[in-house]
Amino acid sequence: MANFTLNINGTKQEMDVDPATPMLWVLRDHLKLVGTKYGCGIAQCGACTIHLGDNAVRSCQLPVSAVAEQKITTIEGLSENGDHPVQKAWLEVDVPQCGYCQAGQIMTASALLEKNPNPSDTEIETAMNGNICRCGTYTRIKKAVKLAASSKNV
Amino acid sequence: MTQIKTQYNRRSFIKVSAAAGGGMLIGFSWLNGCKPNTPEPEPGVAVPNEWFEINGYIKIGDTGKVTIYSPNPEIGQNVRTSMPMIVAEELDVPWENVIVEQAPLNTGWYQNQFAGGSLSIRLSWNALRMAGATGKRMLMEAAAKEWGLQVSDLAASEGIIKESNGERTISYGEIASKAVGLEVPEEVELKAVKDFKLIGTSQKNVDGKKIVTGEPLFGLDFHRESMQLAVIQHPPAFGMKVKDFNEDEIKGMPGVHDAFIVDTSFEDSDRFDEKGFLQLITIVGNSIWELLQAKKALKANYETVGELESSGMHSKRLEKALVSGEVQESRKDGNPDAAFKKAAKVIERTYTAPFIAHNTLEPMNFFANVTEDSAELIGPTQTPEALEGSVSKLLGLPLENVTVNMTRIGGGFGRRLYVHFGVEAAAISKKIGGPVKLMYTREDDMTQGTYRPTYRSVYKAGLDQNNNLIAFTVKGAGLPEGPVFPNRFPAGTVENYSAEKIKSETNVTTGAWRAPRSNFTAGAEQAFLDEVAEAAGKDPIDFRLELFDRAINDPVGEEHEYEAERYAGVLKLVKEKANWGKTEPGVHRGVAAYFCHSTYVAEVFDIVLENDNPVVQKVWCAVDCGIVVNKDAAKNMIEGGVIDGIGHSMYSQLTFENGAPEQMNFDSYQLIRHSQAPKEIEVFFVENEIDPTGLGEPGLPPAIGALANALYKAKGMGHYHQPFISEKQIVG
Ligand code: FES
Ligand code: FES
C-alpha cells in the first residue's frame, strides 16, 4: 500500500492503495466512478479508456503509481453537463445500443478530435480501432465523430 | 378504433393496488447515487410533488408528468424506449412529458418479462396498448364524474381531457388523483393504426444522456454499502471438476476476506440453468484488483470427470452424425433420390461453422443478498423469472421470498437467458452471510459460455434440362442441435424436397446465440442458392422470386412456415433500393433474404477488394417487421445485426483442445472492429399494418449469406467454412 494524490476530473483525491493497482479499479472500486468500464483487462477492447493529460489511454493498463501529477479525465468529467460536442453528437445520431462500450468510444473520439479536428474516414477508423463495440454501432459512431468534428469547427 | 377486451378483471385490479401500495414498484434511484454532475432540467412539464398510480404501467404526477414502467430487460434492443412509446401512444400523452423507469419482476401484473427470441414487442404489443388505453379511459371516467357527464361526452388527447360540446378542459395531472382506485375497465378502445402519432416516429433512446455521461446503469455498476465483491475460478476444461486448492495461502493474501469452493447444484434444473461447472473456487474481498492477484496465485487440483473434447473430434462427430446420427425433425416432399437421377445438373456443397462465444462486452455479473428467509437479486438478466425460479430451488425458499430487479444490460445476444451467474451470486451470498457482487473476468466469461453450437450441413440441388430446380435436399448436424428448419424456405417451392435436422453430442455447454441456428442456416442456404442460380444461368434475385411464385401459386406439400408474398416483398424492395443489376467496375455484389423470428429481411452487399482484402462498401437492407414502433432505433438494430453477422462469419471462432477453449480473451478471439465494418448501411421498411414483430435477431442471418455471395463474386470461389478469414478449402 502507498499514498497517492490524484487529480481526477479537476478534483484532488487522496488514496491509499497498492501502487500496482490499475487506474480502472481505482476509479471503479475506490472512487465509485463507474462510467469507465471493464471489458477485457488486457488493452484489447477500449471500454476502460480515459484521458491522461490529453491522451486517450487504457486505464486497465495504467498503474496508479505511473500517474503522478498528470491530469485524469473520465467520462464523468468530460463535460459539466454532458454537453461536450462528442456527447452531443452521440445523442444526435442516437448511437448506443446496449451502451456499455460507449464511454470508452467517446473518450477515444474526444481525444482524437482534440489532436485532429478534421479526421478523414481512415484516420477515424485507425484511432477508433482499439474500441470494440460488440453491438455493432460502428457506422453510427463514425457518423457521430464526423458530426462532432463539423460542429466543433463552426 | 377497435373495441377490445382488456383481460383485466377485479382480481387484476387488486393486484395493481397491491403493487401500488405495497411498494413493489420501487424506484431505481440506487443506481444514481454517485453522479457528480448536477442534472439539467428535464424537458416537458415540471417535476411533480405527488404521483398517482393509475395501473401497473402508469403513474401520473400532479403536473402532468407521466412515468411509464418498462417491463422487459433492456439488452440494447431499445425496448426501454419503444415499449413505453406504445403505452404513451394509447394513453395519449406528449412524449416529452414521459419518464421511463424499469419495472421489477412482477409476474402478477406484467406478461413475458423476457428478452429473447426477438419477442419483447411482439408478445407485449396488445398488453402495452391496453395498459395505455385503460389508463386514458380511467382518467376520462374520473373527469366525467367530476363534471357530471358521460365518458362519451369527452375527448382526450395529448394529456388533456375536453368536453366535446363545451369549453371545459382538464389535464391528466389535475384529474389523476381522482382516477386512482377506479375500477379497471373491462373493455377499452384502441386507436386505429392510421391515427398513431408517436408509433412510427423516431424517438431518441431514453437513456442516451445517462449512457454518454457514464452514469451507473449496468449490473457491474451496482453498489450497495457493506457489499463485498467475489471472483470465481472454474476448471480449465469441460469435463473437469474442481477438487481442491491452496485455500490457506489464498486466504492469507492481501484484501482476501474468504476463499472457498461453492456448490451451485440443485434439483430440477431446467434449460435456462445450462452451465459448465457446478463447483467453483470463490474468492471474496473488497477490491477487484486484489481479488485478481489472489486468483493468479491459485494452485488448484482438478479431476477429470468426462471426456476432454477437441475441435478435431467435434468435426469428426459432425461428419459421422450426417451419416448415421439421430434425426430430430424432417420433411419430405416427392422423391428427391429419383429426381437427382433424372437431373441434368447436380450441385452439392458442404458448409460448416465453429463454436462461438457471446462475448457481451459487459461480462457476467450479479448482485445477491441472501438472508435466512429471503433472497434479493439485482443485475443483468434476460430471464428474471427463470432466475427467480432457480434461486428459489437452490435456496429452498418460496418464490415470493425471492425478488429480482433488472439493471441495464451490457449486451445479451442470448447469453443472459441463462441464469447460472445469478444463482452463483446467491450461493456465494448465502455462504458468506451478506450482500455480494460476483464479477466474471473476460477469461471466465469466454471459457464458461453457453456457446453457439458448431454445425455442418450438406446441401444438394438438381436442375433439369431447362434449368428448373427439380430437387433440393439439406441435411444438417449440430453439437448438439441440428441447424435445419424443415418447413422453412425452400420448403413449398420444390417438387422433390427433403430436410433432415440431426443431433449429435458434446459436453461443451451450448445455448441460444442471437438468431439460433438461423445464424448459420441463412448463410449456408443463401450461398448455396446463389451457386444453384449460377448453374441455372439465372439472376440470383429472379431465381428466388421464381421459387416464391411457386409457393404463392401452387405450393408443394401441406404447409410451410413463411408468407411467400412478404418474403418476395423484401427482395423486391431491396432490388429497387440497391438498383440491382447496375454496379461500378470493381464492385462485387451479393444478395440474400431470410425469414426468422417472424420478420423478413433481404440484404444486398457491395464489396471491393483492397490489397485482396474484402471491404464492405455499402449494405442495403429491406425489412418487413410489421408496424415499426421507433424507426431510427429499429434501423440501429438492423445495422447492428448486419455488422454482427459480418463479424462472426468473417473473424470469430472458439476452438477446443483437451476440453479447454483455446481462445480466452480478445487478443486471440477476434471480434469485428471499426475498420472492418461496412462504410455505409441503409435500412428500408415495408409499410403495412401488421402487428409488430422482432428486430433483435432477423438482421443478422441474411448478412452472412449476402457477404458470402459478394465474396464469391469478388474472389471467384465459394466461402463454405466460417470464419471466412481462415477459409482454406476451395470447395467443401
Ligand atoms: S478493459 Fe481495458 S482495454 Fe479492455
Ligand atoms: S453499444 Fe453495446 S457494446 Fe457498444
CATH number at residue B392: 3.30.365.10
Is residue B446 assigned to a domain? no
Residue B234 clears pLDDT 90, i.e. is over it: yes
Q: Which domain holds residue A56?
A: 2-75
Q: Which helix (H) or strand (E) holds B461?
A: strand B454-463
Split into its structural domains, chain B has a count of 3
Nearest to B205 among A9, A87, A94 (CB): A94
The percentage of chain B sitting over the pLDDT mark of 90, rounded to a whole number, equals: 83
Domain final position from A34, A54, A75:
A75
- Residue B3 has a pLDDT of 54
Selection from A63, A41, A25, A140 nearest residue B211 by Cα: A140
Q: How confident is the model at residue B108 (pLDDT cuts 50, 70, 90)?
A: low
B214 to A135: CB separation less than 8 angstroms, yes or no: no
Is residue B252 assigned to a domain? yes
A136 to B441: CB separation less than 8 angstroms, yes or no: no
Please report residues of A whose CB lies closer than 8 A to that of B643: 136, 138-139
The owner of cell 451502451 is: A99
Establish if A47 touches chain B: CB-CB under 8 angstroms. yes
For residue B130, the Cα-to-chain-centroid distance in whole angstroms is 24
B396 and B491, same domain (yes or no): no
Q: By the 8 A CB rule, do A72 and A9 touch?
A: yes
Q: By the 8 A CB rule, do B625 and B634 touch?
A: yes
Residues 6 or more apart from B266 whose CB is under 8 A from it? Answer: B390, B393, B394, B423
Domain final position from A15, A50, A75:
A75
B397 and B466, same domain (yes or no): no
Residue B293 clears pLDDT 90, i.e. is over it: yes
Cβ of A22 closer than 6 Å to ligand 1, yes or no, is no
- DSSP one-letter code for A29: I
Distance A41 CA to ligand 1 centre (A): 5
Residue B72 clears pLDDT 80, i.e. is over it: yes
Ramachandran quadrant class, A148 (left: phi over 0; alpha: psi -120 to 50; beta: rest): alpha
A67 and A89, same domain (yes or no): no
- Report the DSSP pairing between strands B613-624 and B599-610: antiparallel
B63 and B175, same domain (yes or no): yes
pLDDT, one tens digit per residue, over B575-591 is: 999 999 988 999 999 99
Is residue A80 assigned to a domain? no
Domain final position from B414, B439, B464:
B439
Residue B270 clears pLDDT 80, i.e. is over it: yes
Q: Per-residue pLDDT averaged across B152-176, rounded?
A: 95
A34 and A92, same domain (yes or no): no
Residues 6 or more apart from B353 whose CB is under 8 A from it? Answer: B452, B454, B455, B520, B523, B649, B721, B722
As a whole number of angstroms, the distance between CA B467 and CA B45 comes to: 67
As a whole number of angstroms, the distance between CA B618 and CA B578 comes to: 9
Q: Which ligand is nearest to the CA of A132?
A: 2
A6 and A46, same domain (yes or no): yes
- Name beta bridge partners: B283: B231, B259
B519 and B376, same domain (yes or no): no
How far does A124 lie from chain B, in Å, by closest CA? 9
If one residue of A28, A40, A133 were mutated to test the ligand 1 pocket, choosing by the most ligand atoms within 8 A of its CB, it would be A40
Ramachandran quadrant class, A94 (left: phi over 0; alpha: psi -120 to 50; beta: rest): left
Most B CBs within 10 Å: which of A12, A24, A40, as the mutation test of the B interface? A40
For residue A12, the Cα-to-chain-centroid distance in whole angstroms is 19
As a whole number of angstroms, the distance between CA A146 and CA B364 comes to: 34
Provide the b/e sequence for B509-545 (b: ≥16 CB within 10 Å): bbbbbbbbbbbbbbbbbbbbbbbbbbbbebbbbebbb
What ipTM, to 2 d.p.? 0.98
Q: By the 8 A CB rule, do B682 and A139 touch?
A: no
Q: How confident is the model at residue B24 (pLDDT cuts 50, 70, 90)?
A: very low
A10 and A52, same domain (yes or no): yes
Atom in ligand 2 nearest the alpha carbon of residue A134: 3
Q: By the 8 A CB rule, do B726 and B548 touch?
A: no
pLDDT, one tens digit per residue, over B361-385 is: 999 999 999 999 999 999 999 999 9
CATH code of the domain containing A125? 1.10.150.120
Nearest to B442 among A33, A39, A131 (CB): A39
B640 to A97: CB separation less than 8 angstroms, yes or no: yes
A34 to B220: CB separation less than 8 angstroms, yes or no: yes
Residues 614-643 of B with CB under 8 A from A: 632-633, 636-637, 639-643
Instruction: Classify residue B196 as exposed, middle or buried by CB count within 10 Å of its CB (0-12, 13-18, 19+).
Output: middle
Is residue A111 assigned to a domain? yes
| Grid cell listed for B686 | 415495408
B652 and B636, same domain (yes or no): yes
B153 and B46, same domain (yes or no): yes
B86 and B25, same domain (yes or no): yes
pLDDT, one tens digit per residue, over A53-103 is: 999 999 999 999 999 899 999 999 999 999 999 999 999 999 999 999 999
pLDDT, one tens digit per residue, over A101-117 is: 999 999 999 999 999 99
Most A CBs within 10 Å: which of B75, B102, B211, as the mutation test of the A interface? B211
A71 and A11, same domain (yes or no): yes
B134 and B251, same domain (yes or no): no
Atom in ligand 2 nearest the alpha carbon of residue A98: 2
As a whole number of angstroms, the distance between CA A92 and CA A86 comes to: 10
The owner of cell 486471440 is: B668
The owner of cell 421459387 is: B547
Split into its structural domains, chain A has a count of 2
Q: How confident is the model at residue B109 (pLDDT cuts 50, 70, 90)?
A: low
A67 and A132, same domain (yes or no): no
Most confident among B26-40, B105-119, B503-517 (mean pLDDT): B503-517
Residue B45 clears pLDDT 90, i.e. is over it: no
Domain final position from B439, B473, B499:
B439
Is residue A37 assigned to a domain? yes
Q: What backbone torsions phi and psi does residue B324 show, to the nearest 5 degrees?
A: -135, 20
pLDDT, one tens digit per residue, over B671-700 is: 999 999 999 999 999 999 999 998 999 999
Distance B361 CA to ligand 2 centre (A): 7
As a whole number of angstroms, the distance between CA B188 and CA B507 comes to: 52
Distance A130 CA to ligand 2 centre (A): 14
B102 and B236, same domain (yes or no): no
Q: Which ligand is nearest to the CA of A131?
A: 1
Please report residues of B whose CB lies closer than 8 A to that of A21: 287, 289
Domain final position from B168, B201, B234:
B201
Q: Which domain holds residue B579?
A: 325-356+451-731
Cβ of A130 closer than 6 Å to ligand 1, yes or no, is no
Give the closest residue (by CA) to ligand 2 atom 4: A133
CATH code of the domain containing A45? 3.10.20.30
A38 to B76: CB separation less than 8 angstroms, yes or no: no
B351 and B368, same domain (yes or no): no
Ramachandran quadrant class, B333 (left: phi over 0; alpha: psi -120 to 50; beta: rest): beta
- Measured from the Cβ of residue B363, the count of other Cβ atoms closer than 10 Å reads 26
- Residue B727 has a pLDDT of 53
Domain final position from A75, A109, A136:
A75
B9 and B28, same domain (yes or no): yes
The identity of residue A29, as a single letter, is: D
As a whole number of angstroms, the distance between CA B58 and CA B360 comes to: 32
**Residue-wise DSSP of B203-237:** ---TTHHHHHTT-S-BGGG---TT-EEEEEE--SS
Q: By the 8 A CB rule, do A86 and A144 touch?
A: yes
If you measure CA to CA, which chain A residue comes closest to B666? A44
How far does A154 lie from chain B, in Å, by closest CA? 22
B506 and B551, same domain (yes or no): yes
- Name beta bridge partners: B189: B3
